[in-house]
């Protein structure tokens, strides 16, 4: 930290005259120029995707320095990632303003904490805890609460959320409940672990990254002399990505600022996608309330994307609801026209991945560099099928923000378990009397933490489940393509797939989640897996959560400069039931779809029918659109009244138990409980009606259909009427 007495020295090379200052403004559009030349008082820049916000704020700082209105050492620019801060510093150096501090919130706070700690507290600054997960594990152990690796990550995330929202351990359960958090463990247990974690750090003289902000806030609140020294040093503040500030970061900013108003904030409420970490756009949206005299500049000229891409992005936001939607920006493309976005429907996920890989190969052949192409998906578990498809097509790729599928710890553990079960052949008690390969895989993976039902909410536990579920699906597809295949055959297949994906991929197509793609851009973007249940994700329950999913898709769309493809698959596996429907966010945007608000199920709402294509599943009781798999199976909302024939349901269960015993299969491999409930509610009288029930595929219809229809008709399986027996 440079003391205030040194901040008055003007660095050589800065403030060199009006000519240099005017040169900084060359090439800026009228709105960017207004940002650059408004150097006093509060300024709020509402900047849409691709509108040159970084250019505007770096030229603003450089113009102030070159014109002599700002001293470099008096400016503090803060953003959220080291990459963004580094880019900002590089641009400022190029513009002749290299003496300006451009840092992340944590970096700026740590620098101040290290400088003022001896004076404010005394002694040495506590050591910084780089990885808190080990301390969280020890805290859990001391509380006699066992956490697996993924629960550790999720509980650590909850502690981070509590700290950035300035919630102490005792208040965590009430605060988490009020915020609608999907806690990975009992909230009282998390509060206990949180409190023990804090005590462990104190005992060992350690602080974590959130403490850096908390302690800096504490010092500035308690020591007015130190707060004044910082305020004397820094006269002007610039905050990038202001929609992502947490309450704790906002409090630190307020203490830096004091009663002054030389603050420029830049953000876009429509790109708020990190609320689960404590980020909120409220500070951006409330800026004019706090500073009624603020200059507000809207950047809407999009220099990144073609008019066709921008039109789709605007269309997405036009359907949005909520406070952020009220402040949406209508972008105007500054580029020449390009190709229309492509919408592609596929019968199943492997076909979708193969189609995307072939389209990518065509783009590369047409001259688009592989490094300028991205495939973006909602969750990392979706990557495996695209890794495989690109490898099969000979297209290099690189994963961003996630391990390759076969390098994930849970997948490695699962493959080891499968290999061990294959070696033990018939001696594994887990596989006793289990003959079907898919059932064997499910049985083995159940010992590694997999279950047939997903855990509630998001987070690391859900991510782990999704990876294992993808492995189960992969095994089922392999068994379908190789009748009679054994566990040993499957493990060989898995090893071959893993080996095929070790090719050098540095210059390849980017595979990334939508969250990891924020702040990046490519010539060509493929948005894949766009079905209801994935986009929006199935655990987005509230209106606010669904709207954040829409904003996430908006971020994905606006990553594309020219080529944009949006795709979905009607079923998971080849030959599966075409029960999925395209994301509701595309209604009214993709060809042949009705705008939101039109009656679901109306013919005009779905365009020309394709093979096996169905409209959205509707609750047969209340008429609402169904998105949960279990609800779709029952064709009603879970909380809607059931008209199930209880006697029929029990007869079906008894029959299933007999089938399970005779065939040596788990009962769910015959029919799941939900499928039996759906059958008992529908009481089908002929094969066509039975085949319409989710969970009754063609194979099961052939194998069990006659028995089930007989039971529904009040007969014994085989056609004999019990009254005649």
Give CA–CA dist 333/311, Å, rounded.
Answer: 8
Predicted confidence at residue 459, as pLDDT, reads 61
Are 550 and 532 within 8 A, CB to CB? no
Predicted confidence at residue 361, as pLDDT, reads 93
Give CA–CA dist 163/195, Å, rounded.
Answer: 12
Predicted confidence at residue 29, as pLDDT, reads 92
The model's pLDDT over 602-659, given as tens digits with 9 standing for 90+, comes to: 333 333 333 333 445 566 665 555 555 566 666 676 666 666 777 888 889 888 888 8
State percent of the chain over pLDDT 70.
84
Range list of β-strands (E), 86-203: 101-104, 127-128
Structure tokens at 467: 């990876």
The model's pLDDT over 688-709, given as tens digits with 9 standing for 90+, comes to: 888 878 778 777 888 889 999 9
The model's pLDDT over 70-126, given as tens digits with 9 standing for 90+, comes to: 999 999 999 988 888 888 888 898 888 888 999 999 999 999 999 999 998 888 889
Q: Is the pLDDT at 7 greater than 50, yes or no? A: no
Instruction: Indicate the pLDDT class of residue 722, thresholds 50, 70 and 90.
Output: very low
Give CA–CA dist 523/520, Å, rounded.
Answer: 11
> What DSSP element (H or E) covers 323?
helix 323-326
Predicted confidence at residue 604, as pLDDT, reads 35
Listed in sequence order, the residues at least 6 apart from 87 whose beta carbon sits closer than 8 Å to its beta carbon are 54
Q: Is the pLDDT at 716 greater than 50, yes or no? A: yes
Tell which wins on pLDDT, 541 or 110. Answer: 110
pTM of the model: 0.66
Structure tokens at 705: 């259909």
Instruction: Indicate the pLDDT class of residue 42, thresholds 50, 70 and 90.
Output: very high
Average pLDDT over residues 45-58: 93
What's the DSSP call for residue 337? P
**What is the CA 62 to chain-centroid distance, rounded?**
36
The four Cα atoms 251, 252, 254, 260 give a dihedral, to 10 degrees, of 180
Listed in sequence order, the residues at least 6 apart from 525 whose beta carbon sits closer than 8 Å to its beta carbon are 373, 374, 376, 556, 557, 559, 560, 563, 564, 565
Average pLDDT over residues 500-525: 77
Tell which wins on pLDDT, 510 or 20. Answer: 510
**3-class DSSP assignment, residue 51:** coil
Predicted confidence at residue 344, as pLDDT, reads 93
Predicted confidence at residue 24, as pLDDT, reads 84
What's the DSSP call for residue 49? T
Q: Is the pLDDT at 339 greater than 90, yes or no? A: yes
Q: What share of the chain is helix, strand, coil (3-state, %, to 5)?
A: 50, 10, 35
State percent of the chain over pLDDT 90.
40
Q: Is the pLDDT at 291 greater than 90, yes or no? A: yes
> CB-based burial of residue 474 (10 Å sphere; 0-12 exposed, 13-18 middle, 19+ buried)?
buried
CB atoms within 10 A of CB 430: 14
Give CA–CA dist 358/354, Å, rounded.
Answer: 6
The model's pLDDT over 423-476, given as tens digits with 9 standing for 90+, comes to: 876 566 666 666 678 788 888 888 777 777 777 655 667 667 767 877 887 788
The four Cα atoms 360, 366, 368, 371 give a dihedral, to 10 degrees, of 50
Structure tokens at 372: 């300028």
Q: Is the pLDDT at 363 greater than 70, yes or no? A: yes
Give CA–CA dist 108/217, Å, rounded.
Answer: 12
Predicted confidence at residue 469, as pLDDT, reads 78
Predicted confidence at residue 197, as pLDDT, reads 93
């Amino acid at each position: 930290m440079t003391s205030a007495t040194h901040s008055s020295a003007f660095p050589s090379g800065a403030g060199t005259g009006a000519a240099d200052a005017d040169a900084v403004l060359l090439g800026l559009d009228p709105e960017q120029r207004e940002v650059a030349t408004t150097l006093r008082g509060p300024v709020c820049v509402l900047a849409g995707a691709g509108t040159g916000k970084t250019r505007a704020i770096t030229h603003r700082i450089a113009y102030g320095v070159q014109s002599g209105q700002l001293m470099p050492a008096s400016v503090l620019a803060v953003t959220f990632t080291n990459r963004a801060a580094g880019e900002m510093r590089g641009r400022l150096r190029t513009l002749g303003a290299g003496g300006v501090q451009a840092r992340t919130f944590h970096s700026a706070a740590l620098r101040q904490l290290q400088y003022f700690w001896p004076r404010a507290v005394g002694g040495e600054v506590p050591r910084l805890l780089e990885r808190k997960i080990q301390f969280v594990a020890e805290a859990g152990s001391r509380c006699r609460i066992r956490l697996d690796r993924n629960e550790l990550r999720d509980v650590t995330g909850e502690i981070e959320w509590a700290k950035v929202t300035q919630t102490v351990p005792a208040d965590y359960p009430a605060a988490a409940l009020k915020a609608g958090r999907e806690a990975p463990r009992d909230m009282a247990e998390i509060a206990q672990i949180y409190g023990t974690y804090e005590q462990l750090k104190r005992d060992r003289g350690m602080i974590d990254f959130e403490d850096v902000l908390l302690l800096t806030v504490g010092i500035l609140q308690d020591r007015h002399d130190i707060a004044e020294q910082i305020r004397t040093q820094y006269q002007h503040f610039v905050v990038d990505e202001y929609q992502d500030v947490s309450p704790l970061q906002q409090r630190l900013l307020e203490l830096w600022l004091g009663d002054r108003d030389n603050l420029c904030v830049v953000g876009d409420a429509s790109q708020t996608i990190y609320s689960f970490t404590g980020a909120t756009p409220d500070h951006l949206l409330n800026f004019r309330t706090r500073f009624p005299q603020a200059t507000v500049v809207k950047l809407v000229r999009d220099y990144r994307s073609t008019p066709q891409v921008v039109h789709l992005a605007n269309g997405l936001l036009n359907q949005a609801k909520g406070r952020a939607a009220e402040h949406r920006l209508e972008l105007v493309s500054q580029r020449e026209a390009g190709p229309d976005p492509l919408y592609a429907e596929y019968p199943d996920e492997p076909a979708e991945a193969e189609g995307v890989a072939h389209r990518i190969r065509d783009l590369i052949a047409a001259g688009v560099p592989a490094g300028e192409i991205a495939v973006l998906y909602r969750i990392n578990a979706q990557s495996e099928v695209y890794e495989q498809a690109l490898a099969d097509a000979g297209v290099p790729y690189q994963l961003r923000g996630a391990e390759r599928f076969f390098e994930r710890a849970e997948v490695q553990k699962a493959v080891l378990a499968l290999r061990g079960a294959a070696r033990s052949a018939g001696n594994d008690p887990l596989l006793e009397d289990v003959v079907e390969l898919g059932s064997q895989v499910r049985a083995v993976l159940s010992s590694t933490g997999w279950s047939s039902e997903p855990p509630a909410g998001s987070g690391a536990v859900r991510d782990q489940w999704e990876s294992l579920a993808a492995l189960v699906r992969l095994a089922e597809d392999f068994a379908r393509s190789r009748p009679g295949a054994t566990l040993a055959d499957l493990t060989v297949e898995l090893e071959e797939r893993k080996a095929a994906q070790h090719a050098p991929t540095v210059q390849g197509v980017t595979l990334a989640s939508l969250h990891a793609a924020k702040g990046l851009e490519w010539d060509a973007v493929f948005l894949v897996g766009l079905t209801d249940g994935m986009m929006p994700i199935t655990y987005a329950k509230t209106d606010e959560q669904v709207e954040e999913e829409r904003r996430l898709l908006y971020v994905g769309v606006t990553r594309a400069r020219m080529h944009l493809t949006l795709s979905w698959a009607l079923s998971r596996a080849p030959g599966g039931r075409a029960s999925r429907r395209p994301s509701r966010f595309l209604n009214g945007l993709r060809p042949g779809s009705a705008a939101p608000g039109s009656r679901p199920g109306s013919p005009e709402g779905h365009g020309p029918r394709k093979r096996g294509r169905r409209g959205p599943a509707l609750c047969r009781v209340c008429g609402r659109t169904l998105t949960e798999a279990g609800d779709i199976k029952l064709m009603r909302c879970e909380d809607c009244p059931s008209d199930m024939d209880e006697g029929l349901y029990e007869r079906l269960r008894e029959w299933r138990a007999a089938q399970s015993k005779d065939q040596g299969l788990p009962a769910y491999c015959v029919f799941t409980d939900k499928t039996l409930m759906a059958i008992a509610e529908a009481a089908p009288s002929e094969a066509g009606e039975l085949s319409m029930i989710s969970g009754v595929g063609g194979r099961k219809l052939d194998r069990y259909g006659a028995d089930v229809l007989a039971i529904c008709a009040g007969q014994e399986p085989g056609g004999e009427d019990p009254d005649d027996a």
